[in-house]
Structure 1
Amino acid sequence: MIYYIDASEMFFDDCSAYFINSKNDEFITCGKIAIPIVDKDDSNFINTAKEKYGINFFLDEQECSTEIYTVPYINIFASDESGVYAVINDFPDTKSSKHICYINTESLTAYDLQCTLTEFVNSINNGKFKKRLNNQITNKDLTVYRNISEAKKHIKLSKITDFTKK
Structure 2
Amino acid sequence: MNKVYLDVTELDKCVCVVIKDKEVIKAGITVYPMSSNEKNENYQQYADNYDIHFIFDDDIPKLSFYTVPQVDIFATDSEDGLIGSVGSMTDLESDSPICYINNNKKCFFIANNLKEFLEKTDNWKNNLKPYNEVVFYDSKLEAEKELRFINI
| TM-score, normalised with respect to structure 2 | 0.76
Q: Matches of 1:61 and 1:8 in 2, distance apart?
A: 19
| Greater share of residues in helix | 1
Structure 2 runs not aligned, ≥5 long: none
The match for 1:44 is 41
Asked if 2 retains the 8 angstrom alpha-carbon contact of 1:35 and 1:61, the reply is: no
The match for 2:4 is 3
Q: Matches of 2:12 and 2:58 in 1, distance apart?
A: 11
* 3-state DSSP of counterpart to 1:3: strand
* 3-state DSSP of counterpart to 1:131: helix
Q: Which amino acid aligns with 2:38?
A: D
Q: Matches of 2:59 and 2:8 in 1, distance apart?
A: 15
Asked whether 1:131 is paired with 2:125, we answer yes
The match for 1:151 is 143
Q: Matches of 1:79 and 1:156 in 2, distance apart?
A: 31
Deviation, 1:143, is 1.2
1:40-88, CA deviations, whole angstroms, 9 ceiling, x for partnerless residues?
A: 4342122223333443211239713112211111111011223211111
Q: Which amino acid aligns with 1:49?
A: Y
Q: Which amino acid aligns with 1:65?
A: K
Asked if 1 retains the 8 angstrom alpha-carbon contact of 2:26 and 2:88, the reply is: no
C-alpha change, 1:134 and 1:123, in structure 2 (3 Å) is closer
* 3-state DSSP of counterpart to 2:126: coil
The match for 2:57 is 60
Q: Matches of 1:146 and 1:45 in 2, distance apart?
A: 35
C-alpha change, 1:119 and 1:37, in structure 2 (3 Å) is farther
Identity across aligned pairs (percent)? 25
Asked if 2 retains the 8 angstrom alpha-carbon contact of 1:77 and 1:86, the reply is: yes
C-alpha change, 1:156 and 1:105, in structure 2 (3 Å) is farther
The match for 1:70 is 67
Q: Matches of 2:96 and 2:73 in 1, distance apart?
A: 14
The match for 1:164 is none
Q: Matches of 1:123 and 1:40 in 2, distance apart?
A: 26
The two structures, once aligned, show a CA RMSD in angstroms of: 3.0
| TM-score, normalised with respect to structure 1 | 0.70
Q: Matches of 1:120 and 1:45 in 2, distance apart?
A: 16
Q: Which runs of 4 or more aligned residues in structure 1 lie more than 6 Å from their structure 2 counterparts after TM superposition?
A: none
Asked if 2 retains the 8 angstrom alpha-carbon contact of 1:85 and 1:102, the reply is: yes
Asked whether 1:116 is paired with 2:93, we answer no
Q: Which amino acid aligns with 2:125?
A: K
